[in-house]
Every structure is written in structure tokens, then in C-alpha cells.
Amino acid sequence: MTERYLEDFAVGQQFSSGRVCIDAERIKSFAAEFDPQPFHLDEGACSHSIFGGLAASGWHTAAITMKLLVDSDFKPAWGIVGAGFEELSWPRPVRPGDELRVESEVLETSVSKSSPERGILKVKSTTLNQHNEPVQVFVANLFVPCRPASSTKHHD
């Protein structure tokens, strides 16, 4: 898979990831290290919580989403490097046994005025479960390099 420069992305372009299954044990071990709250740690303790049962930490879902993106054919030339997020939300819980995938869409591309060798790619990524329900949505601004002059000259 070729790496993409800013010029290789276009508004409306879409990218799909592979799929990954979510395991109860990894939900609990991730939470034990990073987000030790009852609804992420213990099926029994959390039936009356706001989640109504064991749910993955949102940061676990975010990290799994990143893995799916890195493994997809999205491939900006510098890697997936976030300048910042305008939005990040978890509309519904991720449960043990869920199968997640990511759908991404390019919202905007713009060359940097101060650093014309790079630009910003604005992309919306939606993480969906096996029922096609969104479990995470973000809008990210990524640093992406412009195609080097030598690279375009090469094709003259």
C-alpha cells in the first residue's frame, strides 16, 4: 500500500478498516491499568451502574480504533499523527463479544500557511459495532505532508 500525501486525499473519500472482536478479559485488564472503575472491571459489580453491565473504557475503544486505522489502507505518508481533535464521543457502550470496525471520511484538506510542506487533513472516524451502531465518533485534524517537489518532478 502506497503512502498518501495531502494531494492524494479528497473531500468525501472514505476508508474502511478490518474488524476486531472485543474480549471481556482484555476489557478488564486494560481498565485495571488505566481506568479502574467498577463498570469496566467486574460484571457483577456494575449491573446497576450507568452502563448497566460491563463496558470497555472509552480509552480502550479509542486505542482499538487507532489500531484498526493504522492497519487500514488510510496510510498518510508521515503516519497517523494527530494535531488535535474537535470532537470525541462514545454514543453507546462497547460490550464483551462486540465486533468493531472503523469507517472514516475526509472532511477537509488544507495546506499550512506557515509550513507549506505540510497540511491538515480533517477526518471523521466512526467506530461501529456488529449491529452497525456507532460506539465512538471523532473528528481529527491530522498532520499530512504535501507531495515533495522532487516526487512530482519525477513524473515529468
Candidate segments 11-19, 45-53, 98-106, 120-128, binder of a second copy by CB under 8 A = 45-53
26-51 burial: b if 16+ Cβ within 10 Å, else e: ebbebbeeebeeebbbeeeebeeeeb
Enter the C-alpha cell of residue 13: 473519500
89 is a contact residue toward a second copy (CB under 8 A): yes
Q: Can residue 1 be called a binding residue for a second copy (CB under 8 A)?
A: no
How far from chain centre, in Å, is Cα 80? 10
Which residue among 82, 110, 117, 151 contacts a second copy (CB under 8 A)?
82
- Residue range at the interface with a second copy (CB under 8 A); choices 10-18, 44-52, 107-115, 122-130: 44-52
Q: How far is the CB of 23 from a second copy (least distance, A)?
A: 12
Residue 78, interface with a second copy (CB under 8 A)? Answer: yes
CA angle 108, 112, 118 (to 5 degrees): 90
126 contributes a contact to a second copy by CB under 8 A: no
Q: Please report whether residue 57 would count as binding a second copy according to CB under 8 A.
A: yes
Q: Which residues bind a second copy (CB under 8 A)?
A: 30, 33-39, 49-51, 57-60, 62-64, 66-67, 70, 78-90, 143
